[in-house]
Structure 1
């Protein structure tokens, strides 16, 4: 029988999400990869246990996570049923809908029919009565935003989610969605965009909107699909993600220019007594504008490294200037 570490809350940092009453751990665990039907349940169990023991209370899923789609939720549901359910009220569990899940006109995007049906399926897969956060995973160009936001509001009023969020919305879409949700009486809690040293699009307007609207942010791919780690310092290895077929990371993205920057950043990380991945996480969390950094992991040690990023001193003005110079070089 699993018994959680009694000291799990002593070292983790928790940040308030926007203007809400909800705090999230500075590091959250995403189940996008490595929790699907082809992955080892015991490794999944070890990672989730270790994450919770380190104070990671937030576990992030989506209907299409796997592969195959739905299998990550099934895996997490199994772990909840077998040993984690006594700690349910200490956890923030989120899921999303927006991408393709089933055939026909109601199996993706942002209609009320799809969003309500998808969440019902997600709850069954995880064995839950409700999720803490339900996101619309991507904007739908063909469904009125009012319908999509009304579906999120309905889901909260039905008791199937406590909070709602957005993912992959641009600044203008986010501002309008937040306005509609506010008028409906279900404010937007959080936005989940991609963000890293090598992908800074949210600095061009989105972060300002989130600040103005009092919305938190949890950023995915803060390690830029593994590029901002020590994995590629000497080029692409056969066991790396970039060496395998993927729509998310390809060899073309790992150019000599990118590797040169990562090597220079790695030198700075070493001077701080950190790994490259830890520097990358400290950077996205700098200044308090990001509520939580959402990591993926394939083994326990990666989760331990990520939480270890919180132990180092905050980045100094001199270090931040040095990072800027490297990234612009």
Structure 2
């Protein structure tokens, strides 16, 4: 019903991908995957995807859909230099199952830009409740961001460009989602494609600073 309403609002007959955006522990996974299967078979979606599913639930979802004759095409997890929860298990599952990854929040809610290099500016996302909280912006985390910015400058990139390029270094990551508030910002983000390669030393330096910093606002939905 929600998909039908969305299609009517958008004036479309179908969507390319229909996602289950988070695992619901109150609903059998077979029922959730059945809804994706129905959407594809009815021609209302071309492909089925999931978002913020744990490695275990992703594997289960892929198995259920496979039995239904529908491939699980894509997983949309949060991922950035400061939010690396997909690395220990999920990326391996995606590779094994042949599932693509289109990562969101690659700039860690704007933290991996030049916006917070000198603290929290008025009017920024972190200055408002309900999103990137000031509790996440510890002096330790901001120190990591400044160190990463110095490396980006040596690479001839902005911090945002380096952060976007970094998410694409792993072949199991198909694409990365970016948001932009202006054409200029979008063009700057696209500039990340000009330098996607990292040297071994650069990756080692990034790993020293880019450790998980509890920036995953969707952690609860990816732990089940």
Same fold (TM over 0.5): yes
2:211 & 2:119 partners in 1: Cα distance? Answer: 21
Runs of 4 or more consecutive aligned structure 1 residues displaced over 3 Å after TM superposition: none
Q: CA RMSD of the aligned region, Å?
A: 1.2
Asked whether the equivalents of residues 161 and 188 of structure 2 are also in contact (C-alpha less than 8 Å), the reply is yes
Q: Does 1:180 pair with 2:88?
A: no
Structure 2 counterpart of 1:190: 74
SS of 1:194's equivalent in the other structure is: coil
Aligned residue pairs: how many?
Answer: 212
SS of 1:135's equivalent in the other structure is: strand
Structure 1 counterpart of 2:85: 201
Return the offset for 1:281. 0.5
Asked whether the equivalents of residues 125 and 131 of structure 2 are also in contact (C-alpha less than 8 Å), the reply is no
Q: 1:328 to 1:173 in 2, by over 3 A?
A: closer
SS of 2:49's equivalent in the other structure is: strand
Structure 1 counterpart of 2:217: none
Q: 1:254 to 1:184 in 2, by over 3 A?
A: same
2:211 & 2:43 partners in 1: Cα distance? Answer: 47
SS of 1:138's equivalent in the other structure is: coil
Q: Does 1:163 pair with 2:53?
A: no
Q: 1:175 to 1:313 in 2, by over 3 A?
A: closer
Q: Does 1:128 pair with 2:18?
A: no
Q: Does 1:296 pair with 2:179?
A: yes
Which digits, 9 at most, give the CA deviation of each residue in 1:198-247, with x for residues without a partner? 100001200000000000001110000000000000101102111123x2
Match of 1:282 among 160, 165, 172: 165
Which digits, 9 at most, give the CA deviation of each residue in 1:5-48, with x for residues without a partner? xxxxxxxxxxxxxxxxxxxxxxxxxxxxxxxxxxxxxxxxxxxx
Q: Does 1:270 pair with 2:153?
A: yes
Structure 2 counterpart of 1:306: 189
1:285 & 1:158 partners in 2: Cα distance? Answer: 34
2:198 & 2:38 partners in 1: Cα distance? Answer: 42
Match of 1:223 among 107, 111, 122: 107
State TM-score, norm by structure 2. 0.92
SS of 1:274's equivalent in the other structure is: coil
SS of 1:227's equivalent in the other structure is: coil
Q: 1:313 to 1:122 in 2, by over 3 A?
A: closer
2:147 & 2:110 partners in 1: Cα distance? Answer: 16
Task: Specify every segment of 5 or more residues in structure 2 that has no aligned partner in the other structure, as ranges.
Answer: 213-224
Asked whether the equivalents of residues 16 and 46 of structure 2 are also in contact (C-alpha less than 8 Å), the reply is yes
State TM-score, norm by structure 1. 0.63
Return the offset for 1:297. 1.6
Bigger RCO (CA 8 Å, 6+ sep): 2
1:195 & 1:180 partners in 2: Cα distance? Answer: 25
Asked whether the equivalents of residues 103 and 176 of structure 2 are also in contact (C-alpha less than 8 Å), the reply is yes
Match of 1:254 among 113, 130, 137: 137
Asked whether the equivalents of residues 112 and 159 of structure 2 are also in contact (C-alpha less than 8 Å), the reply is yes
Q: Does 1:141 pair with 2:25?
A: yes
Which digits, 9 at most, give the CA deviation of each residue in 1:60-100, with x for residues without a partner? xxxxxxxxxxxxxxxxxxxxxxxxxxxxxxxxxxxxxxxxx
Task: Specify every segment of 5 or more residues in structure 1 that has no aligned partner in the other structure, as ranges.
Answer: 1-116
Asked whether the equivalents of residues 165 and 196 of structure 2 are also in contact (C-alpha less than 8 Å), the reply is no
